[in-house]
Structure 1
């Protein structure tokens, strides 16, 4: 076989071969061969006689029984060797192990152990002929430390490492804790540095309870994340030592571990061709292996042995990122589904006796005890290139992790899978949150109170960031032109239009002056499954219902809304009695309702009939966007259900009941229907009869309803709104927020004066409403939700005056602006009735005018049924007037203002009014009292809320 051309890495690993003469009576001599070649299939080293003589200035003499190496100039013998089977054997030893020939088994073990050095691997497998594949850069060592410890946990070194790349789970950092005595490492991925505090508290409680010892000293740098621990450490008697500023060498134990962890992890990722967004899994696997590797600082024992007193096992180790097949039969959708799928091995579960396996095509993570491994096949090498760590945004990292092709079956069949492997009992010092890489033997205890849906194997939901990426990569069209240019959306629109024609939704009729013709538009939506994965594109033709006129083309619009308690009651009955729960989705439900009113609509944009381009659509059936569409559909469905012996519940009109020979319960929410009953066959018969009357999809067992995910477990049903919560966090820009153990702190007291008023209060109200809907499955947030919704729109005013502004009669001008929330609802600019002797007097008169307006508006709100728990506030920029409103000491100065004074003072004392100072720059009523400069006027008008007409409305002007 021809020799292999060495890569740059191999060239560094095999630069030369040094041969050492064995101890003998001959002269000691070292021989060197340069530019040696590496032949993978050869298991012996072959020496070129001519090159040897040329490089070492020697000559060779051969005889029948032996050979001799002599000095070229002196002829002195330097080495002799025997012959065997007609071959001359070199008797010297090879001192450069990197030049040895590697067997497949050697390389495989090298990969499994995380690419350690030859000397480390030599300690694990004595006399093993193996070398390193990569040479890691090595920094110069720091000075030796005089610190000594006699037991575990006496001194813990800690440091935070920052990744240049966000992981797929959103992790940016990790924090490590290194025990000085055992050199054992615990690693926790974290999303922000402030998580270090909670992580250390968790780590401290975990290891101290496990080992029965207390942490005596924590050594770290001076980072703010560790300074936040000062009070906690002092309270618990832990000494906190820190390194001097800009001297990381003093925290050398942690710094060296960073170097070791990063190098090992990059080797694992590089060898598996995996994207860098999986760095937390690689780092945790690296720490798992490092803790089990012998180290010279522990007399060639491992940190695991030093900590636990037992030798770690290595039989369960496998190549990181290699192809594996977890056993998934218990989770198959049906009996003919495959019992396993091709996955990539992502390491060892820290809390279970299981392996972590990632499906590259769906990004779903499996935790399974029974896994078959194909050690030398790496799925990511066939799916995506490994991204570099530079010039990449988080979105691009997510994109690189998306597989582009499927595995090549031939490559899998050509490899011999290893037999099914069961991992050993992995003892872990970790419960569930956060996920460390430190194994210690304690039972797995879940802190969550949610029911467990699996026993020995866990299947985790796919990570949603890829699904968010998919949504961004295929955005909905923003215009009809854009949609028609896209073949996918054009096909979706054509299908919807054809469905309307088939359903005989309208008749084309000539246009008439007496008709009220409403418009229509296309609305585009990308639908996703409950787990966030892509489902389908959807296009709807929507009527512009705001063009309708009451009494002309619509009358009644009421449609019942389902009550959450009814849903929970029905589910509880089904679970208690063991009834089947089926879910139906009516296709184009609103299009199946029959209209009783004459409604005329323009032809759909993009689908005008070429034979009748001037005709309009006389609607025969309801269509999306009409004011009466929900009621039309509900009436159509109700009429049918009543005709087949159902009774409409009086307590909740969304519930239909059939009793007698059959017992069925039907719960309706627009086009989503739940059917349950004691007999599965009767449920199936009802669904069959309903499908004859309406076009529907049988979605099988109930799984997703009203934004609620329904999962069946051994204890009944597990209800959650996980996807809804993730969407809510995304809208609130709180995806990276830290989780809290309770919805509210026990001593929380909210007041109207707390916090800063929002620029857009409607966003707050929208979030409060969303939280109210979330309480559908979360009673624990019910109190918190009603507590934060106790602060309605606030009635307040700004009052101001221009003292003696009119130089003709020196009468002041008073003004006010009254707001309900952020909206100005009343304002006035008026000269006062008499001359004021001071600016305080003029401002006080303006306050009286504003107070009168607030009292009148408050009475109107009471008549409208709008009660407010907040006290109206008047903002004034004159301190004297503010103090006068509540301080009777000034009464003697204002005898001539007795009526105004007592009017304001009485309301303030009764708690019906607040008068609060405001700085002059924020006095909005200043714009109504006198002429202002252009910059000042424009600034105040912007704060008041006066703007130009939005550009989006200018297109509706008939005469622009």
Structure 2
């Protein structure tokens, strides 16, 4: 069934015409009543209750089929006045210090006339809702023996005898991972009793991430998200681009006409930023374009559209995590000196592998102007060293011990010497103390700092735009695979053949994603071994 065949209502009046949405609203009201979210009271004098509205969403599976119709009641929290209706939103000691009254939701009948809802519990849309939900969930998990990670407050772990369970929270969505099915059943029963959860089974589709499992490993991509982006931008019938950026030009604050729809530009860049969750190949391009959110030009918008056209060629490309991989952290750090034409700042880039699996990457403009390429490289090393330290803390919380000491690779000999030589005063006395974080960690033996040739420096991928041949070479080295046999451009491409396609496919075919099948993943195992073997 086509994704575009089912639209989402924009109002209660529209939704109430369809039985599927009526059932979804009834289910939401029933859940709120069971949770004792409010009580009906007579409206107090001199109190103006806030309103509420219905938000409708069609939930799809990765293959495009409809999973369910979801209706959510949201309070109009933007009407709340700070200091009167609430005080803190994210403070650890935030509490609802004043009563919140809400008008009767559409479709709900109060027991008596002129009554309102007095909220006993937080509702979506309230200024302090996220904080109260997080406090309640955290308290429950800690009571059940889970430990909150100090490296990532969204991660909770439980170690019991020889079993291990990890629980990851993203707003109100939760992922469970571990080796104890009995613990899964126990904690899900507790969460359901407390919050009324919906068990979606094995992880296959989560917040736009498509997950495919096989005996060889796990692959994640955002194919449907890419197709939706192509449809939303009107570029679904456009010609695919071979790379995200043109390597012969640099993005800067040019003199072209201003792009009038600033909000539209910001939304587009926001969607591209979310795509970098599984698409490191657009990280540098997105970092460059995000610098102009306040005053984009036509050139910037056209460049963003080129990134979208690049995604059209391989919307199913994603990351592959092999199950048979060594437990060693390998990092690559690089910098492109003074590459910003507007500020002459440098761009730092790094990426980290756990064995053969790419797990962390970033492209970021440095905060200060470096006086030399050595200084720019050293600053990039410092940023990468901080990330490496955090990854080690995270792995320790997950109970993972690396088989060998971590290694960080740099292709600049001067930067390596600065990190190794504490009396390199003449070239380092102007550097801030925090830049020498890398030197301290090397001396502590946290990781080994090793030289590497510029040709083999994988972090170079995150510091500059590259020509197609070099770009595609890095794609292979990063372990990215296209899980689907038929990419959006309408031509079957192998892992190695990523040249620009010529055959176009109709819009209807583009909007019908193929089912994520573990067999497709297994068919690419040979290609993966060829890349990394």
TM-score (norm 2): 0.51
The aligned residue for residue 787 of structure 1 is: 288
The 2-side partners of 1:759 and 1:620 are apart by 44
Query: Contact 2:168–2:176 at 8 Å: present in 1 too?
Result: yes
Q: Secondary structure at the match of 1:740?
A: coil
Task: Establish whether residue 642 from structure 1 lines up as the match of residue 155 from structure 2.
Answer: no
- Structure 2 counterpart SS, 1:745: coil
Q: Is the 8 A contact 2:156 2:166 kept in 1?
A: yes
Once the two structures are TM-superposed, the CA of residue 644 in structure 1 deviates from its matched residue by 1.4
Q: Which of 596, 614, 626 in structure 1 is aligned with 2:114?
A: 614
Deviation at 1:501, TM superposition (A): 2.3
Question: How far does the alpha carbon of each residue in 1:798-852 deviate from its partner, in whole angstroms, 9 at most, with x for none?
Answer: xxxxxxxxxxxxxxxxxxxxxxxxxxxxxxxxxxxxxxxxxxxxxxxxxxxxxxx
Residue of structure 1 equivalent to 2:308:
none
1:527 has 2:63 as partner: no
Distance (whole Å) between structure 2 residues aligned to residue 795 and residue 788 of structure 1: 9
1:507 to 1:641, Cα distance in 2 relative to 1, 3 A: same
Instruction: Tell me which of 717, 722, 737 is aligned to 2:223.
Output: 722
**Are residue 467 (structure 1) and residue 7 (structure 2) matched?**
no
| CA-to-aligned-CA distance 1:275-321 (integer Å, 9 cap, x gap) | xxxxxxxxxxxxxxxxxxxxxxxxxxxxxxxxxxxxxxxxxxxxxxx
1:706 aligns with 2:207: yes
Equivalents in 2 of 1:505, 1:793: separation in Å?
40
Q: What secondary structure does 2:125 align onto? A: coil
SS of residue in 1 equivalent to 2:231: helix
Equivalent residue number for residue 602 of structure 1: 103
TM-aligned CA distance change 1:754 to 1:712, over 3 Å: farther
Secondary structure in 2 matching 1:701? coil
Q: Following TM superposition, by how much is the alpha carbon of 1:660 offset from its aligned partner in structure 2, in angstroms? A: 4.5
What is the CA distance between 1:595 and its match in structure 2? Answer: 5.7
Match of 1:657 among 127, 142, 157: 157
Distance 2:34 2:296 in 1: 55
Aligned with residue 740 of structure 1, among 241, 245, 248: 241
Cα separation, 2, equivalents of 1:699 and 1:494: 20
Alpha-carbon distance between aligned partners in 2 of 1:631 and 1:680, rounded to the nearest angstrom: 30
Query: Aligned partners of 1:556 and 1:515: how far apart in 2?
Result: 21
CA distance in 1, matches of 2:256, 2:225: 27
Change (3 A) 1:644 1:502: closer
1:73-112 correspondence runs (5 A): none
Residue 267 of structure 2 aligns to a residue whose secondary structure is helix
> Deviation of residue 668 (structure 1)?
0.5
**Is this contact kept in 1: 2:101–2:118, CA < 8 A?**
yes
Largest Rg, 1 or 2 = 1
Q: Deviations over 1:665-718 (max 9, x none)?
A: 111011211111233443333333433433222222211223211111233111
Q: Deviations over 1:617-654 (max 9, x none)?
A: 11111212111111111111101001112111122110
- Label 1:619 to 1:788 Cα distance change in 2 as closer, same or farther (>3 A): same
- Cα gap change, 1:689/1:486 in structure 2, threshold over 3 Å: closer, same or farther? closer
1:567-586 matches, within 5 Å, as: none
1:704/1:658 CA distance change after superposition, 3 Å: same
CA 1:774 to 1:499, structure 2 compared with 1: closer, same or farther past 3 Å?
Answer: same
Q: Report the secondary structure of 1:605's partner residue.
A: coil
**Is 1:772 the equivalent of 2:304?**
no
Range moving further from structure 2, 645-654 or 756-765: 756-765
- Please show how residues 128-143 of structure 1 align to structure 2 within 5 Å: none
Residue in 1 that maps onto 2:43: 511
Name the CA distance, whole Å, in 2 between partners of 1:769 and 1:559: 26
The equivalent of 1:536 in structure 2 is 68
Q: Is the 8 A contact 1:595 1:621 kept in 2?
A: no
1:508-907 paired onto structure 2 within 5 Å: 508-558=40-90, 597-609=98-110, 611-661=111-161, 662-753=163-254, 755-794=256-295
Contact 2:276 2:282 in 1 (8 A): yes
Inter-CA distance 676–488: structure 2 relative to 1 (3 Å threshold): closer
- 1:91-490 matches, within 5 Å, as 466-468=2-4, 470-471=5-6, 475-490=7-22
Structure 1 distance, partners of 2:60, 2:8, is 13
- 8 Å contact 1:595–1:619 — kept in the other structure? no
The one of the two structures with greater contact order (alpha-carbon pairs below 8 A, sep at least 6) is: 2
Contact 1:516 1:548 in 2 (8 A): no
> 1:863-917: per-residue Cα shift (whole Å, max 9, x none)?
xxxx999xxxxxxxxxxxxxxxxxxxxxxxxxxxxxxxxxxxxxxxxxxxxxxxx
Match of 2:268, SS state, is: helix
Q: Secondary structure at the match of 1:607?
A: coil
- 1:596 is displaced (CA, Å) by 6.1
Distance in 1 (CA, whole Å) between partners of 2:256 and 2:55 is 39
Q: Residue 670 and residue 735 in structure 1: after superposition, are their counterparts in 2 closer, same or farther (change >3 A)?
A: same
Give distance in 2, aligned partners of 1:759 and 1:485.
37
Change (3 A) 1:521 1:682: closer
2:86 alignment partner, SS class = coil
Q: 3-state DSSP class of the match of 2:8?
A: coil
CA distance in 2, matches of 1:696, 1:596: 28
User: Which residues of structure 2 form unaligned runs of 5+?
Assistant: 298-366, 370-533
SS at match of 2:68: strand
Does structure 1 conserve the Cα–Cα contact (< 8 Å) formed by 2:16 and 2:22? yes
TM-score normalised according to structure 1 size: 0.29
Whole-angstrom distance in 1 between the partners of 2:24 and 2:47: 31
State the SS of the aligned residue for 2:212.
strand
Change (3 A) 1:594 1:527: farther
Alignment size in residue pairs: 298
Report the CA distance shift for 1:772/1:559 in structure 2 as closer, same or farther (over 3 A).
farther
- Cα distance in structure 1, aligned partners of 2:186 and 2:35: 25
SS of aligned partner of 2:117? strand
Counterpart CA distance in 2 for 1:778 and 1:597 is 45
Cα shift at 1:752: 2.7
Offset of 1:795 from its aligned partner?
11
Flag as ranges the 4+ runs of structure 1 deviating above 6 A.
none
